Structure 1
Amino acid sequence: MRGQAGKYRIIAPSRFGYLGSTIPDDSSPSAQARAYLELLDSLSIEQVYVLGTSAGGTIAIRFALAYPERTKGLVLYSSASPWPEEPKKYSKHEGPPAFFCKDYPMWLLRPLLRPLMGMSKDTVYTMLPLGKRKQGMQIDAKIVNPGMAGNFAEYPIEELQVPSLIIAAKDDNLADSRSMEQVLSRFPNATWLPFEDGGHLMVGHEKEIENARDNFVRDNP
């Protein structure tokens, strides 16, 4: 999807398995980053600011590492966090059980969205029907979310050649801001913007985030 938001041109592709997108045999973060590159080539766009939210942060980091010449800056918004060091063990499945990847169970869970994710229970209506997201959620749980742990050597954060803007909320139980804060020193040129509240969607901080984004783009043209 392409669009225009104020003074910025936005390109928002659906990641593998989401909203009817294709699912290739290789659905790894590296393969998804290559798909972004092919999209930019097809649109004749030389450089972009890459924004990754939640599981999409893993893909954004992989893109910035693999294609620094095409990346002006990396923005991580409620993003999955890299690891401080290679883990000896990690979960091979990081996501909801298959049973919950259905409309009715997810609808029943809506009262838990605020205590678990800091989201209004009405957020569930922006997620349904899950049939358009189920395969993407499964790819994230099995491949993307464990990716930075299982393929630690593919994420040498210290070698990032682009500036980063990292935004997180302390009450976000999906993307732990404490984990991200612990690895900030791995990012060579990072701006850290934490909030006390707001949840996974950082509700109530739209103006502060907009200002931080504008400053980031201005300082890293």
Structure 2
Amino acid sequence: MKEAKRRIRNILLIIVACLICTTVILIVLTYPNYHDTMTDAQERLLTESNILETEYGDIEYAVKGEGTPVLLLHGAGGGYDSGLWVGKVFFGNDYKFISVSRYGYLRSSIPDNASIELQAAAYKVLLDDLSIDKVIVVGASAGGPSATQFANDYPDRCSALILVSAVSMGPAPGDKDPFYVGIIHTIQQSDYAYWLVTRFFQPTILNLMGIPTQVYETFNPEQKELAQEMLDTMNPMSQRYKGTLNDEKMIEFYTIPTSNLRAPTLIIHAKDDALVSYKHAENAHNKINQSQLVLYDTGGHGMLSQMDGTRMIVKEFLNESTYNSTTYVV
């Protein structure tokens, strides 16, 4: 009996030793690349954005391009850089992108009384400071609530509202299971863990972020490159975690305000979005009078596989002189 226990203990010790050695080797082989990536990311983040102090908290923003002004509001885990990525994918050129880091993301502060209403008010102050009268407002994922709030609270400043895979209410049937959300939160708190997962397990992390593996497998080389670019843009991830937690608090009991919302609205979502259920899109469409709802059967969260069609839909929507309340299933 004692001999058997001794053997089991020795086997366990060997397993533990192997795991430790493997971990050490992994760190030795990958840490220099990780360190260079973080250094480059920090330099990029500090040199490409500005900070505006407002009564609603400090707001970080970047302005890029020339043309029609577009206010870009990123999703959870993002920042102003993620907003610019959304603009690049779904708009292309000929636009002036104003992309902000929402409350708690990167260098934007979280005021004590943070709310979706105050976040929208901060956008208005930013536009005043930039001498921009009207904008197209784009809300992606968790950026949807403050985008819709801005369109409702400042209708004279919003020429059109576009919601991409956007949240429109509190937790809904079909949203990501809390267990998997917890895994995402764990990864978010470690820059090294996030970097490793995005480097070596891209389909896995994309699946956690709402892009099903079967959708990823249909990506062409350009779409796979853009997916990796999206993941890389979110380095360093730990500087975005406070914003993610704050989003959850502000969105928990959120309902769409429509009392003053008169901007033509385009709502785009995929039925197989595994992070933000398409029920959010249907809810927004039902509550916003002048809205068009485009539902893809596939595409996952962010709809990278549908980016060409989406870009065309956005262009046509913005070129229309009148807008009708319609639904399209693609």
For the criterion TM > 0.5, the same-fold answer is yes
Q: Is the 8 A contact 1:82 1:180 kept in 2?
A: no
Q: Deviation per CA, 1:86-136: give whole Å up to 9, x if none.
A: x9xxxxx9x944544312554558653344411658564443322220111
Residue 118 of structure 1 aligns to which amino acid in structure 2? I
Q: Deviation per CA, 1:139-186: give whole Å up to 9, x if none.
A: 11222x2141xxx4xx33365211100000111111111342255222
| Cα distance in 2, alignment partners of residues 195 and 34 from structure 1 | 33
Q: Which residue of 1 aligns with 2:63?
A: 2
| Cα distance in 2, alignment partners of residues 171 and 113 from structure 1 | 16
Aligned partner (choices 181, 190, 203) of residue 304 of structure 2: 203
Q: How many residues align?
A: 206
Q: Which residue of 1 aligns with 2:211?
A: 118
| Cα distance in 1, alignment partners of residues 233 and 317 from structure 2 | 29
Name whichever of 23-32 and 41-50 sits farther off: 23-32
Q: Is the 8 A contact 2:281 2:293 kept in 1?
A: no
Aligned partner (choices 244, 259, 271) of residue 137 of structure 1: 244
Is 1:59 matched with 2:59? Answer: no
Q: TM-score, normalised by structure 1?
A: 0.81
Q: Which runs of 5+ in 1 are unaligned?
A: 88-92
| Cα distance in 1, alignment partners of residues 279 and 167 from structure 2 | 11
Higher helix proportion (structure 1 or 2): 2
Q: Is the 8 A contact 2:169 2:252 kept in 1?
A: no
Q: Which residue of 2 aligns with 1:184?
A: 285
Residues 6 and 114 (structure 1), Cα distance of their counterparts in 2 relative to 1, 3 Å cut: closer
Aligned partner (choices 209, 212, 215) of residue 313 of structure 2: 212
Aligned partner (choices 125, 128, 140) of residue 235 of structure 2: 128
Shift of 1:79: 0.1
| Cα distance in 1, alignment partners of residues 96 and 295 from structure 2 | 26
Residues 52 and 105 (structure 1), Cα distance of their counterparts in 2 relative to 1, 3 Å cut: same
Q: Which runs of 5+ in 2 are unaligned?
A: 1-61, 66-91, 173-177, 217-226, 323-330
Q: Deviation per CA, 1:7-58: give whole Å up to 9, x if none.
A: 1111001111112222222221111101100000001111101000111100
Residue 162 of structure 1 aligns to which amino acid in structure 2? A
State percent identity of aligned pairs: 32
Name whichever of 66-75 and 211-220 sits farther off: 211-220
Larger radius of gyration: 2
Residues 170 and 158 (structure 1), Cα distance of their counterparts in 2 relative to 1, 3 Å cut: farther
SS of the residue aligned with 1:79? coil
| Cα distance in 2, alignment partners of residues 50 and 140 from structure 1 | 19
* Residue pairs, 1:39-188, within 5 angstroms: 39-82=126-169, 96-97=181-182, 99-103=186-190, 106=194, 107=196, 112-116=204-208, 117-118=210-211, 122=228, 124-143=231-250, 145-148=251-254, 152=255, 155-157=256-258, 159-188=260-289
Q: Is the 8 A contact 1:72 1:220 kept in 2?
A: no
Q: Is the 8 A contact 1:159 1:188 kept in 2?
A: no
